[in-house]
Amino acid sequence: MRIVLLGVPGSGKGTQTEAIVNRYCISTISTGDLLRAEVDAGTKLGQCAKPFIDTGNLVPFDIVLGVIENSLRKLSEASSKGFLIDGFPRDLPQAEALDKLLLRLDQPLDIVLFLDVDYEEIIKRLLIRGRNDDNEDTIRNRLQIFEDKTSPLISYYTKKGLLRKIKGTGDVTDISSHISRILDEVA
Ligand code: AMP
């Protein structure tokens, strides 16, 4: 099963990702995690990405595309049961690039899940989470970028018949069960 998980930072993607990959034995690709690993390892790529991550801006297209391409190729060679991509695509050029890449690998997406949480709730959650890039200015910037650049993907994937919207507030296990019901239909 091949899934893209969309949602504002702090919408619970990390928590739900864990539940989904455990249930369906698929792999996760999180561009945020991959980029942070490059920063921590002090690689050249990480050094280029760091200022963007620190300010909550999108890391340039070529850098992120390289990262995702690498991971998808590795998975495809390992003939895995599928994947869940978290944090990518973040804008239309990335979505179009992903379509092309998956077409080349002959691994089209089965479904795009959108975890829907309102912004005030998100700010509260992120301030509690307290990651390095979770200060109020950066959070507002990341929400603005989601609104301007990522939210057009909702209609992009709706038109392709792939999008399922899930209410991301309330009890975490209820949200997980809702997602499982949807994914069981696809599996
Ligand atoms: P995340 O862990 O998904 O919230 O991502 C943390 C930060 O990594 C973002 O604020 C961006 O700076 C960067 N990032 C992650 N994924 C992408 C992406 N697909 N495109 C550009 N920047 C990204």
Domain boundaries, the chain: 2-26+81-186
Counting every residue written for the chain, the total comes to 187
Choose among 45, 51, 58: nearest CA to 88. 58
Ligand 1 center–CA 86 separation, angstroms: 10
Q: Given 131, 164, 167, 181, which residue is catalytic?
A: 131
Would you state the pLDDT for residue 169?
Answer: 92
Interatomic CA distance for residues 111 and 103, integer angstroms? 15
Q: Does 124 qualify as catalytic in the annotation?
A: no
Q: Does 23 qualify as catalytic in the annotation?
A: no
Q: Does 160 qualify as catalytic in the annotation?
A: no
Would you state the pLDDT for residue 144?
Answer: 94
Cβ–Cβ < 8 Å for 156, 95: yes
Q: Does 167 qualify as catalytic in the annotation?
A: no
CATH class of 2-26+81-186: alpha beta
Q: Does 2 qualify as catalytic in the annotation?
A: no
Would you state the pLDDT for residue 124?
Answer: 86
pLDDT tens across the length of the chain (187 residues): 999 999 998 899 999 999 999 999 999 999 999 999 999 999 999 999 999 999 999 999 999 999 999 999 998 888 778 999 999 999 999 999 999 999 999 999 999 999 999 888 888 888 888 888 888 889 889 999 999 999 999 999 999 999 999 999 999 999 999 999 999 999 8
Ligand 1 center–CA 60 separation, angstroms: 10
Ligand 1 mutation target, pool 58, 96, 143, 146, most atoms within 8 A of CB? 58
Would you state the pLDDT for residue 58?
Answer: 97
Q: Is 87 helix (H, G, I), strand (E, B) or coil?
A: coil
The pair of structure tokens assigned to 18 is 């864990």
Interatomic CA distance for residues 11 and 161, integer angstroms? 23
Pocket of ligand 1 (CB under 6 A): 9, 31-32, 35, 52-53, 56-59, 64, 87-88, 90, 94, 142
Q: Given 129, 140, 149, 164, which residue is catalytic?
A: 129
DSSP letter (8 states) at residue 78: T
